[in-house]
Amino acid sequence: MTQDEGTQLAELFRLLGEPNRLRLVAACLDGPRSVGDLTEEVGISQSLVSQHLRLLRAGRLLKQTRSGRNVFYDLPDCHVRTMLTNMMDHVLEPEDHSHEE
């Protein structure tokens, strides 16, 4: 892992390292969600949702699509979707301690 790769990778983790932001991303894993839906689902203020969505957009973890009055957020491509899904699965799967030292 080069110095630069490390910095980029850390930036990705940093974005996912805030509970509200992680929930926003997780909520989009099953398909596009409007800001209103996300606000309700995550249970924080609309303003705060928007602030976090801006960061996630800037980090290319979510993309924005307007449809009428609503703006929908979704993962930008299948690579990111696969990566995040796998990361979630790995981290959330029940731990097997049988091989611990």
Partner DNA sequence: TCAACATATGAACACATCCTAATATGTTCA
Partner DNA sequence: TGAACATATTAGGATGTGTTCATATGTTGA
Residues that bind DNA (CB under 7 A): 14, 17-21, 34-36, 39, 44-55, 64, 66, 68-71
The CB-of-52 to DNA minimum distance in angstroms stands at 6
Residues in contact with a copy of itself by the rule CB under 8 A:
1, 3, 5-7, 9-19, 21-23, 26, 76-79, 82-83, 86-88, 90-92, 95-97, 99-101
Outline where 17-100 has alpha helix (H): 19-28, 35-42, 46-58, 78-92
Q: How far apart are CA 2 and CA 18, in angstroms?
A: 25
